[in-house]
Amino acid sequence: MTMPATDLATTVLARCDELAGLTEEPGRLTRRYATPALRAAGDAVGGWMREAGMTVRRDAVGNVIGRREGGPRTLLLGSHLDTVVDAGRYDGALGVLVALAAVERAADLPYAVEVYGFADEEGVRFGTAYLGSGAVVGAPLPLERVDADGVRLADVLRTDPVDARRDPAGLIGYVEVHIEQGPALEEAGAPLGVVTAIAGQTRSTVAFHGRAGHAGTVPMDLRHDALAGAAEWVGTVEAAGAEEAGLLATVGELTVEPGASNVIPGRVNASLDVRHAEDRARRAANERLRARAEEIADARGLRLQWQTVLDTVAVACDPTLSDLLARAAGPDVPRLASGAGHDAVMMSRIAPAAMLFVRCAGGISHHPAESVAHDDVAAAIDATTRFLEEVR
């Protein structure tokens, strides 16, 4: 180890600030898949990778990958560079930059390292997550999905996504550093934690079709108001989450068509995100919410269209790599499960995967107030460097 972790933490935080300026929307951070802002972030990260002595390439889905040679086997590290809408600056980016700092610091490793800056983990643009890491592990990509402007995923891909596939031969594992995005580490007074498992998630798009009409002339008992039906259903989604321990159910998107104050809503497009540590409980809750949507639609003379766009099972982290990470992170490091999804979910399909969480203030995430302490970032760089020096 040469450079002190505290200096590197200063650099990492300054780079997170710089990336936060690469946004689609002035005044707030939004960096969706395959946008000029994401390309600019990838260019910046690629430049820092080159400065760290890595060779850099962009794969077919737009992931940026820095590689340093070192031996016949390869360790993968990384996280994502895309963000949610009006995001914080650490979700994803911090993990890429901590990995890069640790690789730079740990000289002469007996294996090659690759740091991935994944192009899509959040799934904001096409409604389905993990396009970047999914392509790397050979998961089928939903090429016909369209974004809000009707642009097909197939039309924004650089080349055939099959070209992004990573050969699993010779991989030591995949390690991801990420902010916790919850309050557990802060409550435990711990800067770092080692992840035991990542919860599964089911995401769906749900459309209520009704009949648009004049707000001043169509009698109330003759209406088929798509928004009134969707609103009733959204209430049942929240209630389901509140009633069942461990269930998290969210409608995060709602668009109303045609969308005018004097027109009865003819169509509503909603998203549904369902999570639970137990796969069976998640799937059962999802089915109940679908049945409720159908009942509500029937009762109101609406037509329901339901499409499942993502369904991932809970993933257990690799015990050997996790133990090594825990030793590198210091005595009594907490172990905790992740309710948020991470690229490690996909990467675990081709390599043993482990994750290190960094405490974030108030557990706040997916919000511009996301923040991390300088010393905690230094601790993460230290732990990751120690891990790199121990893993074989």
Among 46, 62, 92, 117, binds Mn ion (CB under 5 A): 92
Whose tokens are 């121990």? That residue is 390
CB of 355 to Mn ion, least distance (A): 11
Which one, of 251, 226, 229, 228, lies nearest residue 238 by Cα? 251
Of residues 56-115, which lie at the interface with ligand GLV (CB under 6 A)?
none
CB of 89 or CB of 386, closer to ligand GLV? 89
Residue 192 CA to residue 197 CA, distance in Å, equals 16
Residue 382 CA to residue 296 CA, distance in Å, equals 54
DSSP per position, 146-204: B-TT--BHHHH-SS-GGGGPPP-TTEEEEEEEEE--SSHHHHHT-SEEEEEEE-EEEEE
CB of 282 to ligand GLV, least distance (A): 13
CB of 80 to Mn ion, least distance (A): 6
Q: Could you say which of ligand GLV, Mn ion, none residue 62 binds, taking C-beta under 5 to 8 angstroms by partner kind?
A: none
Which one, of 173, 202, 182, lies nearest residue 284 by Cα? 202
Return the range that interacts with Mn ion (CB under 5 A); candidates 47-55, 90-98, 188-196, 216-224. Answer: 90-98
Draw the binding track, 129-158, toward ligand GLV (x: CB under 6 A; -: no contact): ------------------------------
Q: Could you say which of ligand GLV, Mn ion, none residue 173 binds, taking C-beta under 5 to 8 angstroms by partner kind?
A: none
Residue 208 CA to residue 256 CA, distance in Å, equals 10
Q: Is 225 in the site for Mn ion (CB under 5 A)?
A: no
Residue 27 CA to residue 250 CA, distance in Å, equals 26
Q: Could you say which of Mn ion, ligand GLV, none residue 341 binds, taking C-beta under 5 to 8 angstroms by partner kind?
A: ligand GLV
Return the range that interacts with Mn ion (CB under 5 A); candidates 8-16, 29-37, 51-59, 83-91. Answer: 83-91
Among 23, 46, 48, 91, binds Mn ion (CB under 5 A): 91
Return the range that interacts with Mn ion (CB under 5 A); candidates 27-35, 86-94, 223-231, 248-256. Answer: 86-94
User: What tokens were used for 199?
Assistant: 């919860």
**Hey, which residues does 79 pair with through a beta bridge?**
117
Among 120, 122, 343, 382, binds ligand GLV (CB under 6 A): 122
Number of other CB atoms surrounding residue 369 within 10 Å: 10
Whose tokens are 């461990």? That residue is 246
Contact 41, 19 (CB under 8 A): yes
Draw the binding track, 339-358, toward ligand GLV (x: CB under 6 A; -: no contact): -xx-----------------
Count of residues binding Mn ion (CB under 5 A)?
A: 2
Residues 6+ apart with CB under 8 A from 321: 173, 175, 352, 353, 354, 391
Binding residues for ligand GLV, rule: CB under 6 A, are 122, 340-341
Chain residues binding Mn ion by CB under 5 A are: 91-92
